[in-house]
Copies of this chain bind each other. A is one copy, B any other.
Amino acid sequence: MTKRKNLLATLLAMPLLAMAGTVKSPNGNIVVNFSVDDSGRPTYEMTYKGQPVVRPSHLGLELARDKHASRGMEETDLIQGFSIVKEKTSTFDETWRPVWGETATIRNHYVEYVATLQQSKEQRTILIRFRVYDDGIGLRYEFPQQKNLNYFLIKEEHTEFSMTGDHTAWWLPGDYDTQEQETQESRLSQIRSRMKEAVNWGNSSVAVFSPTGVQTSLQMKSQDGLYINIHEAACADYATMHLELVDEQTKALTTRLEGSSNAYTPHPSPCASALPKPFTFVSHLTPDATGLKGAMQTPCQTPWRTVMVSDDARDMLSSNLILNLNEPCALDDTSWIHPTKYCGVWWEMIVGKSNWHYTDDYPSIKLDQIDWKKVKPHGRHAANNEKVRRYIDFAAKNGLDQVLVEGWNVGWEDWANMWKRDVFDFVTPYPDFDLKALNDYAHSKGVKLLMHHETSSSTQNYERHLEAAFTLMNQYGYDAVKTGYVGDIIPRGDHHYSQSMNNHYLHVVKEAAKHHIMVNAHEATRPTGLCRTYPNLVGNESARGTEYEAFGGSRPDHTCILPFTRLQGGPMDYTPGIFVTKLSEWSDNTSWARITIAGSLALYLTMYSPLQMAADLPEHYERFDDAFQFIRDVACDWDESIYLEAEPADYITVARKAKGTPNWFIGGKCDEQGHRSVIRLDFLEKGRKYDCTIYADAKDAHYETNPQAYTITKKVVKQGDVLKLAEAPGGGFAVSLIAQ
């Protein structure tokens, strides 16, 4: 900080001149420069080991003109005319203990720089705060309460991330409503030409907005080997951020993305100055039904905008930057929050062998007009007493904690995409699901049922029933709920990732906490580390999950990308564990999962989550009971995690020490190329012996031609031993190391 101090000393004599700050991370690898340019626009740049990561990039917010402007709504942009009136630099170093996680403790160590910026004409002050870590930065806008800035509407946030070149990127089409697409791997310059094919137009919620719009977390790799990741942290009561790439074709004209129903206006700088340079990403927030991006009241702040960087891909996976930028735990008592392994009445419905709904007798239903006892069942309703008992027995026998049952409650006959508000009541079971008896049976065997609340995205309806639904859960002994947000948002016009929906998701988590209920939200917005503050948010889907293996399948490298992207913000309920990958073996579904059995076992380690499902059918696990032993054994909460190998979309290898035990587990997962791992067991306790069981792909295993070929090898190992493991195409391995 010496340089900055000298600068400050110089500036003390001329306080009206613009100041500029330079801030270095604790180990000095990352340096951020902040200043305002000639037109008073805040600008930052970022280097890693002296190498540019973010070229000079502008910061600012464009405000909406509102009918209430004359009554106190601000409408002048927070873009330019700023001068730095105060700067403050400080260091923070603290170690905290997550309620659950990849490690028992997390060090939060950063250098912070805060610039106080004033627009002299408008007499307004905002702050821009940087936290500079050794593995990346966070920056956010802060809006103190003040006479001339109390309320404002955001038309758009204009945070720029100017990349230094035509990096390789692993990206998803920017979309207001879904992130269940296959990840695209391309150069930045190829995004525009790849966009149309990147979108799965069959998804009912597609709302892409730009030919160069992409989602975060966005993982990139520069041509000189830097791994760069852009995301956000602590997105609460603010719209989810997308990124819009300025490329050579970007013009300040209104165009329309072919095939999309969304009008698209590129939004380069709202100032008179030229467009940002090509390879610059500009923030693009998710709008509400009126097209606005946010309603703000001071004091408030934006989420953190994050840029992680390293020359080692493993640092992308071990980074705690997103969690660290979130607020500490807001719950006084977290004793009721626990890691959970579960199975469920689910996969056979996804595959199409049985149904969530109960009857085919009605073209549509209204909940208040049907006597379910008199309805004729179609006979394929999965959530019935007999089947659920079978799953409870299976869970009890195999040490699984809970059994998810989807389709237990009335309303599934016509639940999605019909703009139907009163779609579920979340308390009335179908006639063949005995709520009390099944819970009693489960509890008698030491197992809990896991509640399911599909909202059909009718959020007003869900909020109306929320208290009664959670009270019912308490009454019958459920302590976790999987929520779902399939289909278009009601109220109509809103989007899954808007400010109001992000508020809704967090509202549900907070209300659940009052009832000591853990939440696993599917189709909700992508996570940004809020699980640190609300650790009862134990999972999210928010990406293309295992269900897509029944909808045409995902690429073999899919699970080698997700930890770099989707998992940055928090755990994913990926629902792994498909052993019978060719669905036609037991159903009419011709889809198949592009993974080997050993690869499936690896996911319990490489896809970190405190909530892990064994998603396949009990009878399939019984066919491969020796392999299933690993799922019985593996932990889902950890004292320590060491990423041993990693390359985006190629392979990930991680070793983890089970919480409160001396036992280690190792998982390795690779793409369609296969992979050879050499693992030195340096992390084992010195002088201790471990019973080692290796679940590996057989020599001729292959995700397509021979997915069920695996070997199980047992031996005794100690610190310093080396394991050489071959992963088949689309395969992987899993190792358990139980201390003697």
Contacts and interface: CB of A to CB of B under 8 A. Distances in A.
Interface of A: 66-68, 71-73, 145-147, 150-151, 153, 204, 261, 288-290, 292, 295, 297-299, 362-364, 366, 414, 417-421, 460, 463-464, 467, 488, 491-494, 500, 503, 507
A460 B460 CA distance: 8
Contacts of A419: 66, 68, 73, 151, 153, 295
Nearest to A498: B491
A364 B152 CA distance: 12
Number of copies: 2
B460 A492 contact: no
Contacts of A488: 67-68
B298 A364 contact: yes
A417 B364 contact: no
Contacts of A153: 419
B418 A73 contact: yes
Given A463-B463, A463-B464, A362 B417 contact: no
Nearest to A288: B492
A145 B362 contact: yes
Given A261-B67, A364-B297, A493 B460 contact: no
A398 B418 CA distance: 56
A594 B460 CA distance: 44
B288 A366 contact: no
Identify the 4 closest CB pairs spanning chains A and B, nearest first. A289-B289, A295-B419, A290-B493, A289-B493
A460 to B, nearest CB: 7
A363 B418 contact: no
Contact of A417 (B68, B493, B500): B68
16 contacts: A68-B417, A71-B418, A145-B362, A146-B363, A150-B363, A150-B414, A153-B419, A288-B491, A288-B493, A289-B290, A289-B494, A295-B492, A297-B418, A464-B507, A491-B491, A491-B494
A642 to B, nearest CB: 41
Nearest to A207: B67
A420 B294 CA distance: 11
Contacts of A261: 67
Given A420-B151, A421-B295, A467-B467, A289 B366 contact: no
A147 to B, nearest CB: 6
Contacts of A292: 492
Given A67-B261, A68-B204, A68-B418, 15 more contacts: A71-B417, A145-B363, A145-B364, A150-B414, A151-B364, A290-B493, A292-B492, A295-B420, A295-B421, A421-B500, A460-B460, A460-B463, A463-B463, A467-B467, A491-B491
Contacts of A72: 418
Contacts of A417: 68, 71
A421 B498 CA distance: 14
A170 to B, nearest CB: 29
A298 B72 CA distance: 45
Contacts of A363: 145-147, 150
Contacts of A366: 297, 299
A126 to B, nearest CB: 15
A261 B65 CA distance: 13
Contacts of A467: 467
Contacts of A493: 288-290, 493
Contacts of A492: 288-290, 292, 295
A451 to B, nearest CB: 20
B418 A289 contact: no
A204 B150 CA distance: 19
Given A68-B204, A464-B507, A492-B292, A150 B298 contact: no
Nearest to A291: B493
Contacts of A507: 464
A101 to B, nearest CB: 28
A410 to B, nearest CB: 15
A146 B292 CA distance: 39
A307 to B, nearest CB: 30
Contact of A460 (B288, B362, B420, B500): B500
Contacts of A418: 68, 71-73, 150-151, 297
